[in-house]
Amino acid sequence: MIPLGAAAGIHRWPASLSVAVGLLLAGCGASSEPAPPIHPDFSIAAPELDEVLEQVDAVTAERIRTHSQVFLDLVAQVLAADRSFRVLVDKRHALPQDYVPTDLVALDTYPITTNRTGHRLSRRVMPDLLAMAEAARIDGIELMVSSAYRSFDYQDRLYKRHVDQLGREAADLVSARPGHSQHQLGTAVDFGSISDGYGETANGRWVAQHAWRFGFSLSYPLGATERTGYNYEPWHFRYIGRVGTRLEREFFGGQQQLMLEFLAAWAPWFAARRGAAGP
């Protein structure tokens, strides 16, 4: 064996010997090998994920880096789920005026309490909404749906009424402009009294504690006005699926807006690398 310490004198060795040493060094150089994928479903190595995480806030980045396999497991499931569960509908992102979910069903035909007749929701929400109402009932809580699907035109009238009553600036903190309401998706639900005190009622506390288990996410949490653009709304939940609420809780601190912004920015990047790692 040639001691590696002799490499400084390599220029004096015969050519064949230099090639042999070169091959030996290449074999030892692990850094020259491509890094392996972190997860079998994605062709993503740790250094590539790190590049994404450089553009994410430090707390979220650390959570993802530490549990990257669980994270990618959940991302794979979110990508496979209904896209409307993760579409960003907020102050800056609107739905088309003519967007109407194609699977609206009348809540009056289901065993669920409502504040009036005529509410409709996307059929995709119903199994988990019914399961949640049943779980609440077992705990002695009766869930009541007070608002569900709202059309663009309905939201237009509602927003104008708020502007008339409060002025535009104050109205924007409590009411979405037409096209910007999650209710137009047919997957958002207002529960109970639609009042600030709802969060302090037994009913509101139950929903705050358990809704995530059924795929319902609090859209406008306390103290998140700067991020969401809305005041605290303890009654307003959006259905994002059970995998969605797990991803939101485990990696985004329960902040729906933060998670949906991340997915809006990066879902195409993850989707493009999905399935490329294996058969």
CB of 169 to Zn ion, least distance (A): 20
The rounded distance, in Å, linking the Cα atoms of 185 and 95 is 8
CB of 117 to Zn ion, least distance (A): 19
State how far the alpha carbon of 116 is from the alpha carbons of 108, 151, 237, in Å: 9, 17, 19
Nearer to Zn ion, 162 or 273 (CB): 162
Place of tokens 């989707």: 271
Binding site for Zn ion (CB under 5 A): 190, 236
The rounded distance, in Å, linking the Cα atoms of 215 and 238 is 8
Q: For the chain, how big is the Rg over CA atoms in Å?
A: 26
Nearer to Zn ion, 190 or 248 (CB): 190
Nearer to Zn ion, 41 or 190 (CB): 190
The rounded distance, in Å, linking the Cα atoms of 132 and 56 is 33
CB of 37 to Zn ion, least distance (A): 41
CB of 191 to Zn ion, least distance (A): 9
State how far the alpha carbon of 253 is from the alpha carbons of 141, 192, 256, in Å: 27, 25, 9
CB of 130 to Zn ion, least distance (A): 20
Nearer to Zn ion, 37 or 204 (CB): 204
The rounded distance, in Å, linking the Cα atoms of 244 and 78 is 6
- Chain residue at closest Cβ approach to Zn ion: 236
Please answer whether residues 81 and 243 qualify as being in contact, where contact means their C-beta atoms are separated by less than 8 angstroms. yes
Please answer whether residues 147 and 119 qualify as being in contact, where contact means their C-beta atoms are separated by less than 8 angstroms. yes
CB of 171 to Zn ion, least distance (A): 14
Nearer to Zn ion, 172 or 190 (CB): 190
Which helix (DSSP H) or strand (DSSP E) does residue 62 occupy? helix 58-66
Nearer to Zn ion, 37 or 178 (CB): 178
